[in-house]
Amino acid sequence: MTVQALEAARRLAPRFAARAAEHDRDGSFPIEDFRDLREAGLFGLMVPRALGGMEASFAEYAAVATELARGNGATALVFNMHASVTGALGAVTEELAEALGVPDEALAARDRLLTAAAQGSWYAVAMSERGAGARLSQLTTAYEATDEGWHLKGSKTFCSGAGHADGYLVAARSAADQSVVSQFLVPAGDGLTVEPTWDSLGMRATSSHDLHLDVTVPTDRLLGGVEGLALVVAQLMPHWLVASYAAVYVGVARAAIDAAAEHLNARNLAGLPAVRARLGRADAATAAAQLVVAEAARRVDEAPGDEETNRWVWRAKLLAGTTAAEVAASVLEAAGTSATRRGHPLERLYRDARCGSLHPATSDVCADWLGIAALGGDPDRDGSAPRW
Amino acid sequence: MTVQALEAARRLAPRFAARAAEHDRDGSFPIEDFRDLREAGLFGLMVPRALGGMEASFAEYAAVATELARGNGATALVFNMHASVTGALGAVTEELAEALGVPDEALAARDRLLTAAAQGSWYAVAMSERGAGARLSQLTTAYEATDEGWHLKGSKTFCSGAGHADGYLVAARSAADQSVVSQFLVPAGDGLTVEPTWDSLGMRATSSHDLHLDVTVPTDRLLGGVEGLALVVAQLMPHWLVASYAAVYVGVARAAIDAAAEHLNARNLAGLPAVRARLGRADAATAAAQLVVAEAARRVDEAPGDEETNRWVWRAKLLAGTTAAEVAASVLEAAGTSATRRGHPLERLYRDARCGSLHPATSDVCADWLGIAALGGDPDRDGSAPRW
Amino acid sequence: MTVQALEAARRLAPRFAARAAEHDRDGSFPIEDFRDLREAGLFGLMVPRALGGMEASFAEYAAVATELARGNGATALVFNMHASVTGALGAVTEELAEALGVPDEALAARDRLLTAAAQGSWYAVAMSERGAGARLSQLTTAYEATDEGWHLKGSKTFCSGAGHADGYLVAARSAADQSVVSQFLVPAGDGLTVEPTWDSLGMRATSSHDLHLDVTVPTDRLLGGVEGLALVVAQLMPHWLVASYAAVYVGVARAAIDAAAEHLNARNLAGLPAVRARLGRADAATAAAQLVVAEAARRVDEAPGDEETNRWVWRAKLLAGTTAAEVAASVLEAAGTSATRRGHPLERLYRDARCGSLHPATSDVCADWLGIAALGGDPDRDGSAPRW
Amino acid sequence: MTVQALEAARRLAPRFAARAAEHDRDGSFPIEDFRDLREAGLFGLMVPRALGGMEASFAEYAAVATELARGNGATALVFNMHASVTGALGAVTEELAEALGVPDEALAARDRLLTAAAQGSWYAVAMSERGAGARLSQLTTAYEATDEGWHLKGSKTFCSGAGHADGYLVAARSAADQSVVSQFLVPAGDGLTVEPTWDSLGMRATSSHDLHLDVTVPTDRLLGGVEGLALVVAQLMPHWLVASYAAVYVGVARAAIDAAAEHLNARNLAGLPAVRARLGRADAATAAAQLVVAEAARRVDEAPGDEETNRWVWRAKLLAGTTAAEVAASVLEAAGTSATRRGHPLERLYRDARCGSLHPATSDVCADWLGIAALGGDPDRDGSAPRW
């Protein structure tokens, strides 16, 4: 697939870039970017070929995400959520389904969701809650069985793409048994209310608003068909989030270099030694981060969850986040005051780039885990309490 | 004076801080901050006591600027311009006036301007032009003598406080003799048009808009009373701009640390080792930058223009600019995503802090000059062509 | 005093520098440097005037130490130990002595030691022990009263100047009562054996060897004349060690810049932009560190032990250590391979400079304490277990 | 080959490491390391299979070099020279030979040299001269035809492995025609005198001494069999030097992390957060540099000399050099004073690691070239005058 999807991403990136300033200014959702993604068939990127998709590997996904982010990092971040959902659903093999006791109907329902994605639907993730963050154990959104299906009630935050997705992956706790956490794919429509709380330094176009749910969904919308599988699904996803954030920020860093080069050439400042030194070091750091993300993604495909794979994922997250922030700060300094005007790509990229280290696992947390591993320890056992 | 003015600045800073988010959001001018400054008598900070002012030294000014900037860096930057004008005017001694052939009427006019400042007027600087930057030799704004006084025509850019000041220091070129550049103190009013072009990453409340002039001013508004003194006045000002920018950004850095500490304590995150390491290193760097600014200012008072004084001025500019940007980026990372919401002080300070290295002389230019001096060379002779 | 002592230090520094390569190569003690210090009367730097000394303040000491370190950092480090001993002894006021119950004979003995210093004797510190570090509570060197005075037996490590000093400040534990720790000024001579264990990356000329004691000293060599005062004396010293290390490393950083400038000028490489940028940033960082050390020292004189004084001491230690290492590494890179030949000043300074952050309190510990303080906490209560 | 050679390198590295301290201390050549390399057949690494060698790719070479450097960077640097010579000789294809007019006898002579390497001979490079550096155009070593062959006379510097190699690649200028520069493979023996000038901060065991030549070699020792081919051969080598230096310094960085981890675990200090943060960031940076070196090497194999290949080579050189120095400095700080004792691996690695950025092309030069390329320029045309 790579070639086709990657070429599509490269083709779309300039279109996204042309719209990025407006969405950043208004905090509006890049609706046309998502129309472009749909038309290019990219919602099916992670969907198995048998269901009409491209069946991309994680490494292929990472390359696509970086290219999309060169156009607009916010668009790539939202797309990442959809890719995570479809990628995790697609990763449930028949063996795993059998081991978990997933009934055939649930697999059929899963296939319908993936098929819909291949045909142009896309999904957001409604996981985090105020106070609980992304920790499943702290969730307060509740569900219960009713005659019409499952009734969900509660509030989510940081839901990228809220109000625009065709469906939402929602984690909720059983009202009947507090120890049971399940996940549902809730279709857009009545019962969902978006509260526009997202107004951020960077990545402003993700529409990561609050989402209030008071909705009943059909029975087959319980993922896996069995209650209590949320943790299993979650465990299929984390490398997704951590490593795919990284792919996005490599694209942001590269976009900053390109924008700085264009700006400086237009002003005949490319000959200044300090400018060249800044762009040269930025280029090397970004190229390195890109290789690390690719290596992490390759290993996720080959040996997901392995100790060494996880170390590469943390390296990718750490380096992409810190590199993007440092590169954007340095090349903006090279470009000078005229590049700080709102609407200039570097002005936006400087803000977008600062967000990478802050997504979980933060750069400081990744550094701690990597240090423990380098010292022969086990981050799961010895790590500081994570921030997420 | 120090105590009185410094206490006033400390008293005002929290009021500025309370208004900063709104002005940052709207790009509106902090009118109430300037009312506060007027009521505290701070427009007379650099005015001789004999004319009703506080007759502050440059070192005292720097301390005041840092305190004001802890409240709102943008307010402090605009105030800096007024302080530069009054400070430069106040620095024209009788000996210098005599040497330059300044007539008594011009000194009397100068005294009227300074007295007005002590009584509550404030002045902006309209120097830069598109294409010319701040280089006097490239200006296109022209003036000529008329029966009513001097007629000025042209356009200025980056005029902080445009539309709000009581007067503008304007540099213009003689229509009669292109080699003659003079400066005028143009009163606010008819003939001045503000074009709202300022919409920046940071320091958004400075209203550094374009200013179009087509105006006639009375004869006594020619500074020095003799044409062609612009370069002399300019040479009295540059340490002002360079070193006083530095004082502002020390205040911004300190404000970022304080905001991060408050944020982290409110979330019970002060115990995280990575958080402590970030705040500790930020504190040390900011304390160092503050001492360097104070030392530079002290030397400006004692031996303005000396080779060693200039080195301290460049050190101050370099360290304040880089420290503010690095400190704000690091403590924002310590504070986490919740501090990136628009309206949060750290969100604004992160953007404001990036601007310090970009003001002329940029950090890279200062580093170059300092390097030449450390190697025994003469930055005036050996320096790369400056960016400003 | 400052002028006289500071001029002496400046006069001696080039002589130290000329001998530094040889002592670094051989790990030999700079005997001639110490002869120079004696002849310049600098052993009396911290001795009260009434006893023939210069009665320098701590700030004056710091300035002298920096100048000496520009010649040879190792010499300055050993001198620091002597200054610490004489400074701490001199700091025992009559009020304090009375409060501690120090008998008159002990004050007289103290005066004899200080008078001897003013006349040309110098003292080393034998505090640390293998396994215990510098923690008094862990010491195993023991003493007991005998008919001839006090008998001390044990082994010390990191004793800078071992084998060369005229006396050693030795901390030991009472054989009769393990809870009592006292300090003695042990004269050089029989009963002291130097084991040449010091062979280090940098600061090789300090002769910080192991010292084995099996010696009896006269009764009046118990400092304070009363057993158990060790902690009191120790508490008079710590700012000495922490802040005075800092003064030394500022001198090392400045020496590195000067050596690089000389090297680059000799090779006509001063015009390279990358070289200038490196030297310029190194200069600014070193100037800042120097101001911070001076400020810390000034506050130690004015308000020793104050919370704010301690913060400045930690800032000084942190910045001097990190600045020296970074500056030396960067200017060596600017100077190039030809400066890495053994015997070249930069080759030595690069190694010497790395040691500053490692002396207690290490840079990481200082950053932690400063972070706690910036967050409103109490480093004594909240700090990580220190490394020393 | 990879597996076999890589396994051999991994097997040898601990043996090299065990001997490294002694060779570093004495500046002695690691004779036993080279015996090990011979016995493992690694002198034939770059020799075509047809001539008895392993016919490794450049990427395979880079991986081997990194592993060897984890044992002893100095050994790996000298081995690099041999690999460069055999790699460049092996890279002369029949097509190229024909195009250059290389006679058959010369190809046969070349094959004899490569066969000898596969059987256990190794070659050093004697290129640089004092004053000329490595610039062929500035060489003063002269050769002339005699009845017995070619007589060479002159002096070389920085000849790694001098006095130990079986042959030396020597560049010399024709006495008959100053414009003609040729290269010879001079066998060890009479006529070569080693002057032991190498006494360096780091990489002390390379024996990069001066080599004086006054020697006559057989006719077939003129490489290529035709005079004036030196530049052609040189152009086959530069990626060798630049990129293979990089591979060595990645190994040095990794060795530093491993040594720090061992040291810290032995002292139960692995739990300190600051230690973990340092090791974690060091690990990520080193992993990134290693990927960049591998990518550069892969591209050298696929498209040597391509614009994009060159950019990767510069990135590799820049990142490996800066990463090694920063990593070694940081983990030494984590390890503390006890790791600065001479003989401790970290003490040596800290010095070795500083040398990487200084080898040509220096880090600053690489950054400049990369910046020019990022700005769309041509480093060959627009670059600052290189330092080498």
Q: For residue range A181-215, list pLDDT tens digits in order.
A: 999 999 999 999 999 999 999 999 999 999 999 99
Query: If you count residue pairs, one on B and one on C, with CB atoms under 8 Å apart, how many are there?
Result: 142
Mark yes or no for CB contact C276/B318 under 8 Å.
Answer: no
Residue C376 per-residue DSSP state: T
Clarify whether residues D92 and D203 are in a common domain: no
Clarify whether residues D278 and D155 are in a common domain: no
Distance CA C170, CA D339 (A): 26
In C, minimum Cα distance to A277 occurs at C274
Segment D48-66 mean pLDDT: 96
Does residue C388 fall inside a structural domain? no
Alpha-carbon torsion, ordered A320, A326, A331, A332, to 10 deg: 120
Angle (CA) D76-D296-D50 rounded to 5° is: 65
Distance CA A334, CA A269 (A): 9
Looking at residue D123, its pLDDT comes to 98
Does residue A388 fall inside a structural domain? no
Looking at residue A2, its pLDDT comes to 63
User: Does the CB of B385 have a partner CB in chain C at under 8 Å?
Assistant: no
Clarify whether residues D177 and D54 are in a common domain: no
Q: How far is C312 from chain A (nearest CA, A)?
A: 27
Distance CA D321, CA D314 (A): 11
Clarify whether residues C266 and C283 are in a common domain: yes
pLDDT(A388) > 60: no
Structure tokens at B198: 């300022």
Does residue D92 fall inside a structural domain? yes
Of A277, A284, A370, the CB nearest to D280: A370
Looking at residue C319, its pLDDT comes to 98
Chain B touching partners, 3 or more CB pairs below 8 A: A, C, D
In B, minimum Cα distance to C367 occurs at B280
Q: What's the pTM?
A: 0.96
Mark yes or no for CB contact A287/D312 under 8 Å.
Answer: yes
Q: How far is C357 from chain D (nearest CA, A)?
A: 7
User: Does the CB of A274 have a partner CB in chain C at under 8 Å?
Assistant: yes
Clarify whether residues B255 and B363 are in a common domain: yes
User: Does the CB of A342 have a partner CB in chain B at under 8 Å?
Assistant: yes
Alpha-carbon torsion, ordered C48, C50, C54, C58, to 10 deg: 20
Mark yes or no for CB contact C350/D201 under 8 Å.
Answer: yes
> Choosing among D272, D315, D357, D364, which should be mutated to test the A contact, i.e. which has the most A CBs within 10 A?
D315
pLDDT(D138) > 90: no
Mark yes or no for CB contact A369/D280 under 8 Å.
Answer: yes
Confidence of residue D387 (pLDDT cuts 50, 70, 90): very low
Of B278, B314, B374, the CB nearest to C261: B374
Task: List chain A residues with CB under 8 Å of C273.
Answer: 273-274, 277
Residue type at B103? P
Inter-residue contact A217 to A149 (CB < 8 Å): yes
Looking at residue B238, its pLDDT comes to 61
User: Does the CB of D273 have a partner CB in chain B at under 8 Å?
Assistant: yes
User: Does the CB of C323 have a partner CB in chain D at under 8 Å?
Assistant: no
Distance CA A121, CA A60 (A): 20
pLDDT block averages, 10 residues each, chain B of length 388? 88 98 98 98 96 96 97 97 92 84 91 97 94 76 96 97 97 94 96 97 98 97 88 67 88 98 97 97 98 96 91 97 98 97 98 96 96 94 58
Confidence of residue D66 (pLDDT cuts 50, 70, 90): very high
> Choosing among D208, D341, D351, D354, which should be mutated to test the C contact, i.e. which has the most C CBs within 10 A?
D354
Mark yes or no for CB contact A340/B273 under 8 Å.
Answer: no
* Residue ranges in chain C modelled with pLDDT below 70: 1-2, 133-135, 231-239, 384-388
Looking at residue C236, its pLDDT comes to 66
| Proportion of chain D above pLDDT 70, given as a percent | 95
Confidence of residue A262 (pLDDT cuts 50, 70, 90): very high
Distance CA C352, CA C343 (A): 13
- How many domains does one find in chain C? 3
Structure tokens at D349: 């690695």
The CATH number covering residue A199 comes to 2.40.110.10
Q: How far is A217 from chain D (nearest CA, A)?
A: 45
In C, minimum Cα distance to D202 occurs at C340
User: Does the CB of B175 have a partner CB in chain A at under 8 Å?
Assistant: no
Kindly indicate whether the ipTM for this predicted assembly is greater than 0.90, answering yes or no.
Answer: yes
Task: List chain C residues with CB under 8 Å of B281.
Answer: 318, 367, 370-371
Chain C touching partners, 3 or more CB pairs below 8 A: A, B, D
Task: List chain B residues with CB under 8 Å of A269.
Answer: 387
pLDDT(D125) > 70: yes
User: Does the CB of C241 have a partner CB in chain D at under 8 Å?
Assistant: no
In A, minimum Cα distance to C277 occurs at A274
Distance CA A98, CA A91 (A): 13
Does residue C387 fall inside a structural domain? no
User: Does the CB of B277 have a partner CB in chain D at under 8 Å?
Assistant: yes
Q: How far is C276 from chain B (nearest CA, A)?
A: 4
Clarify whether residues D93 and D150 are in a common domain: no
Distance CA B111, CA D163 (A): 83
Phi and psi angles of residue A158, each rounded to the nearest 5 degrees, phi first: 50, 45
In D, minimum Cα distance to A254 occurs at D374
pLDDT(A318) > 90: yes
Q: How far is B272 from chain D (nearest CA, A)?
A: 9
User: Does the CB of B96 have a partner CB in chain D at under 8 Å?
Assistant: no
Task: List chain C residues with CB under 8 Å of B257.
Answer: 374
The CATH number covering residue B307 comes to 1.20.140.10
User: Does the CB of C280 have a partner CB in chain A at under 8 Å?
Assistant: no
Does residue D387 fall inside a structural domain? no
- Of A194, A229, A264, the position where a domain reaches its end is A229
Task: List chain D residues with CB under 8 Å of A313.
Answer: none
Looking at residue D384, its pLDDT comes to 61
Looking at residue C133, its pLDDT comes to 67
Does residue B48 fall inside a structural domain? yes
User: Does the CB of C312 have a partner CB in chain B at under 8 Å?
Assistant: yes
Looking at residue D237, its pLDDT comes to 65
User: Does the CB of C176 have a partner CB in chain B at under 8 Å?
Assistant: no
Phi and psi angles of residue C216, each rounded to the nearest 5 degrees, phi first: -115, 130
Task: List chain C residues with CB under 8 Å of B280.
Answer: 318, 366-374
Phi and psi angles of residue C193, each rounded to the nearest 5 degrees, phi first: -125, 130
User: Does the CB of C372 have a partner CB in chain D at under 8 Å?
Assistant: no
At residue A159, the 3 state secondary structure works out as strand
Which residues have CB under 8 Å from C381's CB, separation 6+?
none
Domain around A63: 2-122
Chain D touching partners, 3 or more CB pairs below 8 A: A, B, C
User: Does the CB of B256 have a partner CB in chain C at under 8 Å?
Assistant: no
Mark yes or no for CB contact B387/A340 under 8 Å.
Answer: no
Structure tokens at D261: 């981890």
Distances (CA, A) of C46 to A302, B118, B323, C55: 68, 50, 36, 5
Clarify whether residues D131 and D118 are in a common domain: no
The CATH number covering residue C15 comes to 1.10.540.10
Q: Which long-range contacts (CB under 8 A, 24 or more apart) does B136-142 make?
A: B136/B171, B136/B181, B136/B230, B136/B231, B136/B234, B137/B181, B139/B171, B139/B172, B139/B173, B139/B181, B140/B173, B141/B170, B141/B171, B141/B172, B141/B173, B141/B213, B142/B172, B142/B173, B142/B174, B142/B175
- Of D122, D137, D170, the position where a domain reaches its end is D122
Q: For chain B, how many residues are written?
A: 388
User: Does the CB of B268 have a partner CB in chain A at under 8 Å?
Assistant: no
Q: How far is C81 from chain B (nearest CA, A)?
A: 26
Mark yes or no for CB contact B364/C277 under 8 Å.
Answer: yes
Clarify whether residues A27 and A154 are in a common domain: no
Distance CA D361, CA D102 (A): 31
pLDDT digits (tens, 9 = 90+) for A358-373: 998 999 999 999 999 9
Q: How far is C268 from chain A (nearest CA, A)?
A: 18
Clarify whether residues D116 and D129 are in a common domain: no
Taking each continuous run of H as one helix and of E as one strand, the counts in chain C are: 13, 7
Task: List chain B residues with CB under 8 Å of C295.
Answer: 291
Looking at residue A76, its pLDDT comes to 98
Clarify whether residues D285 and D309 are in a common domain: yes
Query: If you count residue pairs, one on A and one on B, with CB atoms under 8 Å apart, how many are there?
Result: 95
Does residue D213 fall inside a structural domain? yes
Clarify whether residues B78 and B143 are in a common domain: no
Looking at residue C255, its pLDDT comes to 98
Mark yes or no for CB contact B265/C375 under 8 Å.
Answer: yes
Clarify whether residues B297 and B166 are in a common domain: no
pLDDT(A56) > 50: yes
User: Does the CB of C274 have a partner CB in chain A at under 8 Å?
Assistant: yes
Residue type at C183? Q
Structure tokens at B224: 């020095």
Mark yes or no for CB contact C264/B375 under 8 Å.
Answer: yes
pLDDT(A220) > 90: yes
- Of B66, B97, B118, the position where a domain reaches its end is B118
Q: How far is B77 from chain A (nearest CA, A)?
A: 15
Task: List chain C residues with CB under 8 Å of B385.
Answer: none
In B, minimum Cα distance to C254 occurs at B374
Does residue C112 fall inside a structural domain? yes
Structure tokens at A158: 């940081």
Mean per-residue pLDDT over chain D, rounded: 93
